[in-house]
Every structure is written in structure tokens, then in C-alpha cells.
Structure 1
Amino acid sequence: MSDTNFLPKPRSRGTWLSIGVLLAVTALAVGVNLLADRFLSRARIDLTQQRLYTLSDGTKQVVSSLRDPVTLRLFYSRRLGAAVPVFGAYADRVREMLREYVALSDGKVRLEVLDPEPFSETEDRALAYGLQGVPLDNAGDQVYFGLVGVNLLDDERTIPFFQPDRERFLEYDLTRLVHELSNPTRPVLGVLSSLPLNGDPRAMMMRVPGAGQPFQAMTQLRQFFTVKDVATDAQAIPPDVQVLLVAHAQDLPDATLYAIDQFVMRGGKLLALTDPHSESQAARPDPTGRPPASTASSLDRLFNAWGIEAPSDKVVVDQRGAWRVRAGPNDRVQGVDYLAWFSAQGDSLNRGDVASAELSQVTFASAGLLRKREGATIELTPLVTSSPQSALIDAARVRETPEPARILAEFKPEDQRHTLLARVRGVLNTAFPEGPPSLPEGVERAAELPAHKASTEGPANLVIGNDSDILEDRFWVRVQDFFGQQVATPTSDNGALVTNLADTLAGGDALISLRSRGESLRPFTLVEEMRSDAEARYRQTERGLTERLQATERRLRELRQGSGSGSQPQTVITPEQQAEIEAARAEIVRTRQELRGVQRELRQGIEGLETWLRIINVALVPALITAFAISLAVLRRRRRAAARG
């Protein structure tokens, strides 16, 4: 036999061709990955139901308009995520969201992720920035999960600790932080009111304790804004005012109404609070010591032109959250629910708006309703509404000498909610199409008035409420003197609401457009529905089996003890009793088996769903890719066959 039979045969041409194709495919895959990493690093596909990782247009506007760089430092202790997986999942979302900001900013946003180990310089930096440390175990070591933003002027903004229960507002919090760093100066808030919001010098001269002090709501606003008073006869709103608060401004002249109108037409943000009956004004006598002749205010000329109705002849009364007040001297009861004073709470607060989402309750007093005029094209979004246990009554019934007991006795709920406070958005037309109004005789027109505008250039953003008493201290805060220091203890969230509203308006359209987003840690709603259905279906059977088991066990105890004459127990068990004992034991075993079967059926559907989820997660995607590849190969073969033919 020749040795040549044992020599290796040369590789066929097809084998070398296959190896070459394999190498080419490998090189192509590596090249595609390198090119994708170079040119498609910003490409994203968000497959979450609520588009959790897709930035809103408002955020894109804020980030893309950055002029100077902003550095974001995320301090996150990895030990926190390892110990509490909920925080680990949330930290992943925060990181991904911040990377979206970086990718969108064209280099203007820089991100640093730091892990502050105990007793490290990084932990010292976190403490210096004022971030909140949380003890993770009994050893006392602190963990951190906060954000610090710094601009070129060394201005700092922080989120001390990311709370998972605020995940819905993650984008708003991050965008607000970036916006404040790009606009570090305090916004200017103009205040136009007939109420002594900034204090009453006359009352202070009388040296009455607590009298004449600024409203606590204004004290809070001064912490975030530069507050500027606007006269009730002003012919123009100062150009540096970004947000205008008009609160119970009575009998404004046409020139001042025109100034407010043109402020809105030029893109200014308005927070307007009218009132069918101001409890705040009613409690303050005029300079002569007499009660005020009128306690109502309206901006009907402006509102009617803008498509809004805020009637001043009706008051909303609400049984839910009504305040308990002292009854009249002729009433037998000591206290009675005054339905015109109530605290809106629960589903009366819009949880989708960042200004009202985290509030507990907001107190209203003799409030009116808001509604959109018929045919108006504006978007009116309620922020606070009454409960369905509410109704409308004539405003005259709460003026002068209200009768809480009679209002309660005659109350009939309308099973309808009434809007008390709302956001208004839309393109608005001026209430003065003819231009500036004529002035009274002897009044000179102010110089250099801005040019008249007939409408807003884009959608206007307003907040309208028909109750100015949300600012009144006695309805939401208790102020006490502590060794000469005024200490304010809120009893309701009125002050927080007003501050939040002004804050969102000052942030511009970009921040106003941001609403709450969904949560990444979503519950398995289908599993919960299956569990509820299964429990409802099997719980009755389980209870019947349990009762039968208890009865059988009780009968077995009686048989074992026997029943003798008198007080002596029976010591000898008859064959009939022994047979009954064995039957009872068999019944107990059978009942327990049925109970286990019921519990097994209770879990069977859920376990089946989990199995299908695993199959889908593990096998479906590869199966789809395989099917796609096979379809592509078949299609190519048909094309080649058609080309040859």
C-alpha cells in the first residue's frame, strides 16, 4: 500500500471560500460595531410604554440653549444599590437620564459619577456640598445618592438625595437644576393687589401683636424671587418682571387692565387670583374702621377675551373637608361644618402637575369656580377641584352675616366637581383690540409704552384661581411669637402651592410643559389581576374546606375523649367509635389534600404566566432573529433564481 494514501488531501476550493467568508463576516461585524460606536453613540430606542428615557421638548429646549458649560456630579454609593435593589434600579435610571442630557448638550453638560466610600475625600466633598448621608447598617457608615450641579460662576444647585417615590418628577428636577444654573439670578415677581400682602404700616403703628405683618405666602416667595410691588393704577408692568401675581385687585382702571393684558401678550407669565368674597378683606376694616363695602374682585374684561369665566356671584361649598366652626348664639349645637370653608385633598389635587402632585391639602374660603367659555380654543387644565360632594350657592349667602347651620341644612350635593384653580394655555387675543384705552381727565399717559400687540406670538401660560384667600394666613399657617421670633407652622399646603406655581411660571415654557412621567419600577398589573381573580374564585372554597376541617378535628377530639356517665370520662372505646375515629382521620387527610390543591391552583396561573415570560424573554428574541434570517435567505434565493431565469 502506498504511503500516499495517508497524506492529507488538499482543502477543496469550497472550504477555503467558507473560511474566507467567515473571516470577512467577522471583520464586518467588528467594523460595524466600531463605526456605530463612533457615529451612532447617541442613537437610542426607547421601548418603555411611557417613554421614560425620552426627554421632553421642554428639556431639549433648556439643554440645547445652554450658553456656558454645566458640570453635574452624581454621588452614588454602590453599596446602597447592593443592599437595597430598589435604589440600584433607580440609580440606573438616573444615570441613563443624565447621559441623555450629556448627549443632547453638545458638550455643554459634563457628567461625573463618584462613589463616596466611607472616610474618603469623595465623601468629604459630598458633605461639603450638603448632600444627605443615610446610615445603611448599625455600623453607622453613610451612603449617598445625590446630585450637585456647578456652573462657571461656581453657583451650586443640589438634589440632596434621590427618593424613589419622586421618580415621576425626575426629569423636572434635573431640568430645573440645569435651568437654574444657566440662569443664576433670581427671577423678578411683580405683585399687584388690593390686599396688604407685604404688610400694613397702619396696623403696625397700632402695635397690635402680629398685625400688619406681611402674609406668610409673600415671606416664602421672597426666599426664591425678587419681589417688586406694582401699583393698582400702573399703566405698564415693569420690563424686568417675569411673573405677575394679581391677587384680589379691585376696580382696576382700564389703563391697568391694559397693562396686564399687554404683559401677557408679550409673553409674561400671569398668576391671577380673583374672588367672589374675600374673607381676608372682610376681616380688615377700612381706614375709617368700617367693614369694606365690597369684598368681590374680578378681571372679567380680560378673562372674557381670553376664553375664561370666573363668576363672582357664586360660591362653591363642599362637604368633604369642611371646616368645623363655632355655631351661632341661637343654635343648640356648639359647632357646625361651614361648607364654604373647606380643604381640598386627595383626588381633588392634580397629581400629574408638579406644582400640586405632592401636596396633602389646600384650604379654600368662599371660593368661586372657573370654567372655559363656550367656543374658546384654550386648554384649561384643573389643578385643584372640589369633591363630588359639592354645590354652588349665591355669594350673597356668605357675605355680611353667613349662617353655617342653615347652609348645611339646605345643602344638596350636585355630584359634580368644580374647578377652583387651573392652568390656562393657548394663543390669546388682546382684550383691547382698539389699542390703549383713553385716560381719565387730568391723567397723563406714561412715556415709552411698549408697542401694542394684538395677540400672543405663541401659546400663553397662565394660572387662574377664583379665590385669593389661599394667601390668607389663618387658613393655612399658625404664626406664634417665640421670644421675639415669628415661628410659622403650616397647617395646610397653601404656601407651598403658591410658591410652586410661581416657580414653574418663572422657569418659562420649558419647565411648565414638563409633567409627571411614569415610574420605571412598575408593578406587574396582569399578575396582580390574576391573583385577585384567583383569590376571589377560590377563597370561598378554601373557607368551606377550612370549616369542614375544623368540624372534623373537633369531632375527633370528642371521640378520643369518649363520653362516660356522670363526670367520669369513658375509658373504653367501642368498635363503632373506633371506626368513626378512623373515618374522621381519613376525612382530615382528604380535606387537607383539597386545601393544598386549592392553594396550588391559586399559584398555578401566576406560575404559568411567569413561565411564559421566561420563555418570551429567553427564546422569543433569538427565534425572531432566526426567523428574520431564514426569511432573508429565502428571499435572496428566490431573487437569484429569478435572475438566472
Structure 2
Amino acid sequence: MTLLNRLFNRRSAPVYALPLLALAFLALVTLSAMFLRGARIDLTEHRQYTLSDGTRRILDRIEEPVKLQLYYSDKAARDLPQFRVYAQRVRELLEEVAARSHGKVTLQVIDPEPFSKDEENAAAHGLQGVPLGASGDTLYFGLVGTNSTDGETTMPFIQPDKEAFLEYDLAKLISTLAIDKKPVVAVLSDLPTGPGLDPLTNQPTMGWVLDRQLVELFELRRLQPEPTSIGPDVDLLMLIHPKNLSDDTLYAIDQYVLRGGHLLVFVDPVAEADPAGTRIDLSGQTQPVSSDLHTLFQAWGVQYDPGKVVLEAPQNSLQVQPDPNQPPVRNPALLGLRKTAFNAHDVITAGIETLNLSSAGALSVAADSPLKMEALVQSSSSSRLADAAAVRAAVADPGSLAEGFKEDGQEVRVIAARLSGVLKTAFPARRAAGQLVASKQPVNIVIVADTDLLSDRLWVQVQDFMGQQIFNPFANNADFVYNTVDNLVGNADLIAVRTRASANRPFERVDAIRGAAEQRYQAKEKQLRQQLDELEQKLAQLQPAAPGEPAPKLTREQQADLLKLQEQKLTTRRELRDVQHQLNADIESLGRRLKLINILGMPLLVVVVAGLIALRRRQQRRSGGA
């Protein structure tokens, strides 16, 4: 015992403690490598590296290996620190995907240096190289995905401004590689969207541009009027301007949705592209051009009035020229929507810049509806509803709709929406073999209360060039429809993939101070600018009209006024500079406070904590000595 006491006394304890701690650390690292292999923890604020449940389910269902090749010009981006940080986040997310796939997804990072074989491969895969100014370097940052059956999908350039949809795009790429055929889109249309025959010239027509683009991307299956069943292989049912559908057809649609089919509906209170609008029946009345799914909408709790049209304030509507001899006028029924009208958090509308609609309707859900509605497109708060009959009557004089325009107080109108939830059949009294009375899983439905957005006149100019047709889009109508179809034909897991919060951390406090300062000094700045313009106009009246002209003879009073105006102009400019300088004063003050906190705050905190620890130890020694 004496020897042990000598070896392990207080003075020798630190000598043995350090080697023991080192051995314990090595043992802990070894055990964690053995038992915690692959374990990860995401401590970021928005869980940047945690995959959505939908993405994980897609990875679990991969049957054949998927190879991802990330082409990233690391050397070319050496002077782009912000881009390098974003590229690192993308790489870490891809590594998380590969780790979560249990070996089904492999990742290879390639730096395509100039004039190398890797750069040739990047260009051959269709990746987009971005020239970097005077340096002459080309920046590649794209992704190539391949499977074992020569399938290939690419992301030509991974854009930082689309970071929120990075996981969705990646999940879509992997999901596409697991499918070896085009998705089937069944179309039931009451409008001449597809190829047909011109009744006036008796010549074949190619159909609308949007229809031709969908044919290239999907297997478009055109349904005959009044179908009584929807095939089980249909990935998406697309209803365009459904009018007076029979109960058998509505029942077929009902059962398709309940068994998990995805539905895209375009209804319209005034379909201007409907040929029925030009026909006159025996009573002298034109045929109705409104469409509705009243039976299904009522059962689903969807509220839509085919007799009401959304009108926007004249400043938010587009111009038309019904009379070539008269100037253009604003048509409140012709909507030219911009980014503020779109849901920035949904993959369908996030990248949409402009959308043109005409005579659109409004959507909502009843309080007892089983569906949850998420707005995709909506009007501004300066809107109101008008009778569809009045809008049709104003075709020759659309400017009359703008006369005395007054919004009705409702904040916004939803024009396009995504609906989800568990549904019950709209035909509970029917009895048929294999009939479903409720959906087994939440349904996915998108409803758009306008059909005119599909027509060429609202979004694209078609020109003939050497026998070929060239399309020049001036709005994003086709992008909106394609995004919707592309999203809905995916499986439910892909639709469920969430948008990712951006990892950029804006200076919210600085932005708030800047906004308050601008609001505080904006009125003064406006007043000074107006005063400066008035002074310059008065000076221009007293000075030569053009260079080289003799100066007008001024009286003594005018000369005194001229000197006085010049002094006032200098004083006003000085005050304007002071106001502009004051705009940044609060921000600079905040910056100085933050610097003081960063420079002095942490050392002071360390000193205070160390002092408290020392004080506590001294008290413990005194109490022990006593």
C-alpha cells in the first residue's frame, strides 16, 4: 500500500492522467469508428443536410446502380469565395445522398481543367461552361447521372439562386434514371389544342405550341369524348375546359383520383379560345363558353363560380387594341401577373417570372372541405369579381371594364391551386365491381381557373424561317404548364420532396435599419430633389438656351436673382448629400458596435468566466483549510 500511495499521490497524478486520457481518447475513436460508422447529425438551423422523407423513399426503391458525376472547376473558382461555399454545400448534400443510398448511388467529383479530357467530356454531356471575365477561365458546375442501361440525365449548371430546389432537382434526376419509359399523360380537351382540321381552309393544323412541346416530353394519350374509364397506366389525367361531362365520365375521373391518380384541371368562366363562342343556336344565342366540374368540385369542397371573372386594377392589367384606329386600352380581364403573384415555395411556380391569363376565375375551399388548398397563382389585392356576361359583352370595348374600377375589399383571389388530402367518392350511391369509396392515400390535384393561358396568343410568337417554325415566348405560360405536368407525373415521394431553405444568412437587423432609415429620409430626399429641379429650371431660363448663343442681358435684379439661385442650388445639393450620407449612418453605427462586441466582448467574457472560476477555487481552498 505504501508503494501504491507513493506512485499515485497528488503530485504524480497529472503524470499518469495525461497518458490515460490519451488511451481513453484512442479507444473512444476506435469504438466510434466501429459502431457509429455512417452515423451523422445535422446541427444546421434549417437542417440543410437532412434529406426529405420523399427523397429517402426514392433512394430506398432504386433497383439498379446510379452513378453521379459532379463536374466542378475548383481551380477556376479560386477567386469566387461565395461560390466555393455554395459548391461545398452541394457536394456535401450529394455525399449525404450517396451515403443514404446504401451503395446504390456513387459520387465522383471531377475538376475539368482547360484543354483536358474531362473538359471535353463535360461539353459532350451538354454541361454549361461559364466564362469568367478577363481571366479567360471557364467555370463548370454541373451534374451528370447515368444508370446501367445507358440512361443519362444532366443538370447543365447548378445555379446558386435555385438552391431552395436543389434537393427536388436531385431527387427528380435520380427518379428519372429509375424509369425507362415516358410518363403517360391522358388528355380530355374540349378545346382545339392538338392537331386537327381547319374548317375554313380544310387544311390540317398542328395544334397549339404548348401541346406540341408536351408531345416531345411525355406520351400524350388523347381521350375520346365521354370516356367511361381511365387506364391504370395513366400517370396524369389532364382535363382542359370540361363542359357538361356525363355522370359516367365524372365517375371514371372520381375513381381514377381515389386510386391514386394525379389530376390537372383547367376550367374557365370565359374560354375565349372555345370555338363554341362563335356559334349561334336556333334561338339566336351564342353557345356557353364556361366550363366546370360541379359534381366533383361540390363533393370535394372546391368553390368555383363559372359565372365570375377576376378583374385586376388597370395598372396591373395588359393593354389591347381592339380598334386599329384607336390607341391601346387597358383590359382588366387580361392579367399580366408577375413574381409577387406566384408561390415562391412551390417547385411549380418558384421560377416563373411572368404569366398571362385572360378572363380567369377564382378558387377557394369550403370550411368543411377534406382538401387542403395551397395557392400557386393569385391576383393582387387590387382586384374584384365581375359577371362573366359583362366581360363577354365588353369584348369590343374592354376599356369600359376599367371605368370607375374599384376593388371589392378582398385581399387576393386564388387562380391556380394545389389541393391535397384524403377524399371520399362523389358517387356513394353507385355500386360497381372494385368501386373505391375513399382514397387510400392523400390525393394530388392541381386546378387552374383559366384555359386561355394555354393558347399561343398569350405567351408565344410563331414565325416561319426557311420552312421551319421558330417560337419566341414572351411569357412563362408554357413553363408553368410543363412544371405542373412534370411535377404531377412524378410519384408521390417526388411531389413530397420539400424545398430547402437557403443557407445564406441575410443581415436582417441591417436590412431593418436600412428600411427604417430609407423611410425616415425618403420624404426629405424627395423634397430636396424636387426643389433642386425647380432651381435648375429657373436657372435655365436666365442662362443661354444653347452653347454659342450670346448671353441675354440681365438687369441688376436678375443678376442678383441668378447669384441667389446658384447659392440655393449649392445649398440644396449639400443638404441632399447630407441626407444620402445619413441613410448609411445608422448602419455604420451598428457595424461599429458589432466590431466592438467581436473584438472586446469575447475576451471580456473569457476574463469574467476565468475570474469567477478562480474566485470559486479560492473559496473552496479557504473552506478546506478551515
What TM-score do you get using the length of structure 1 for normalisation? 0.79
Moved more, 116-125 or 62-71: 116-125
**What secondary structure sits across from 2:78 in the alignment?**
helix
Select 1:503's aligned residue among 486, 502, 509: 486
Is 2:391 the counterpart of 1:398? yes
Matched position secondary structure for 1:279: coil
CA contact (8 A) 1:321 1:345 kept: no
Contact 1:58-1:510 at 8 Å conserved across structures: yes
Structure 2: how far apart are the matches of 1:539 and 1:321?
Answer: 25
TM-aligned CA distance change 1:19 to 1:166, over 3 Å: same
Deviation of 1:282 after TM superposition, in Å, equals: 4.5
How much has 1:303 moved relative to structure 2?
1.0
Aligned twin of 1:527: 510
Report whether the alignment pairs 1:376 with 2:380. no
Match of residue 426 from structure 1: 421
| 1:606 Cα offset (Å) | 1.4
Q: Does the alignment pair 1:469 with 2:452? A: yes
Q: Counterpart in 2 of 1:54? A: 50
Partner of 1:78: 74
C-alpha displacement at 1:516, in angstroms? 3.0
User: CA offsets, 1:375-434, max 9 Å, x none?
Assistant: 113110110011111110111112356341322114211242111000001111111112
Change (3 A) 1:56 1:614: farther
Aligned-residue offset at 1:622: 13
Q: Which amino acid aligns with 1:505?
A: L
Q: Does 1:317 align with 2:300?
A: no
Deviates more, 1:421-430 or 1:286-295: 286-295
Assess if the C-alpha contact under 8 Å between 2:514 and 2:583 holds in 1: no
Distance change >3 Å, CA 12–CA 30, structure 1 → 2: closer
Q: How does 1:583-602 map to 2 (within 5 A)?
A: none
1:274 — aligned with what? 267
**Native 8 Å contact 1:281 1:292 kept in 2:** no
Quote how far apart the aligned CAs of 1:311 are. 1.0
Q: Matches of 2:584 and 2:333 in 1, distance apart?
A: 53
Structure 1 counterpart of 2:150: 154
Work out whether residues 268 and 361 of structure 2, in 8 Å CA contact, stay in contact via their aligned partners in 1: yes
**What CA distance in whole angstroms lies between the structure 2 residues aligned with 1:241 and 1:203?**
32
Q: CA deviation at 1:532?
A: 5.5
- Which residue is equivalent to 1:37? 33
CA separation of 1:613 and 1:224: change in aligned 2, threshold 3 A:
farther
- Stretches of structure 2 lacking an aligned partner (at least 5 in a row): 1-5, 526-579
| 1:570 alignment partner in structure 2 | none
2:289 paired residue number? 295
In structure 2, the CA distance between the partners of 1:432 and 1:603, relative to structure 1 (3 Å rule), is same
Q: Distance in 2 between matches of 1:217 and 1:230?
A: 18
Q: Per the alignment, in what secondary structure is the counterpart of residue 80 of structure 1? A: coil
Q: Is the 8 A contact 1:316 1:369 kept in 2?
A: yes
Q: In the alignment, which residue of structure 1 is the partner of 2:140?
A: 144
State the match for 1:603 in structure 2. 588
- State the 1:128 CA deviation: 2.0
Kindly indicate whether the alpha-carbon contact (under 8 Å) linking 1:131 and 1:146 is maintained by their aligned counterparts in 2: yes
Give the conservation status (yes or no) of the 8 Å contact 1:530–1:606. Answer: no
In the aligned structure 1, how far is the partner of 2:499 from the partner of 2:408? Answer: 31
Matches within 5 A, 1:28-427: 28-138=24-134, 140-203=136-199, 206-207=202-203, 212-282=205-275, 285=278, 293-319=287-313, 320-327=315-322, 334-399=327-392, 402=395, 403-415=397-409, 416-427=411-422
Mapped to 1, the partners of 2:435 and 2:299 lie a distance apart of 16
Whole-angstrom CA distance in 2 between matches of 1:352 and 1:74: 26
Cα offset for 1:120?
A: 2.0
Q: Alpha carbons of 1:22 and 1:463: their partners in 2 closer, same or farther (altered >3 Å)?
A: same
How large is the Cα RMSD of the aligned pairs? 3.6
SS at match of 2:392: coil
TM-score, normalised by the number of residues in structure 2: 0.81
Match of 1:25 in 2: 21
Q: 8 Å contact 1:257–1:302 — kept in the other structure?
A: yes
Q: Give 2:548's aligned residue.
A: none
Secondary structure, aligned partner of 1:504: helix
User: In 2 relative to 1, CA 258–525 (structure 1 residues): closer, same or farther, beyond 3 Å?
Assistant: same
Q: CA deviation at 1:13?
A: 4.7
CA distance in 2, matches of 1:538, 1:316: 38
Percent identity of the aligned residues?
37
Residue ranges of structure 1 left out of the alignment (5+ in a row): 1-9, 438-449, 543-594
**Residues 66 and 174, structure 2, Cα contact 8 Å, conserved in 1:** yes
- 8 A Cα contact 2:195 2:206, kept in partner: yes
Instruction: Say if 1:236 and 1:27 are closer, same or farther in 2 by CA, change over 3 A.
Output: same
Where do residues 441-520 of structure 1 align in structure 2 (5 Å cutoff)?
451-520=434-503
- Are 2:424 and 2:438, in contact at CA under 8 Å, matched by a contact in 1? yes
Change (3 A) 1:115 1:291: farther
**Structure 1 residue 495, shift from structure 2 partner:** 0.8
**What amino acid is aligned across from residue 119 of structure 1 in structure 2?**
F
- Which moves more between the two structures, 518-527 or 308-317? 518-527
Relative distance call for 1:184 and 1:610 in structure 2 (3 A) is farther
Provide Cα deviations, 1:433-477, integer angstroms capped at 9, x if missing partner. 12258xxxxxxxxxxxx7110111111010011111111111111
1:269 deviates by 0.3
State the shift of 1:179 in Å: 0.9
Paired with 1:296 and 1:170, the residues of 2 have a C-alpha distance of: 39
Is the CA contact (8 Å cut-off) linking 2:70 and 2:109 kept in structure 1?
yes
Q: 1:163 to 1:80 in 2, by over 3 A?
A: farther
Q: Using the alignment, how far apart are the partners of 1:67 and 1:15 within structure 2?
A: 64
Aligned to 1:560: none
Deviations 1:560-581 (A, max 9, x none): xxxxxxxxxxxxxxxxxxxxxx
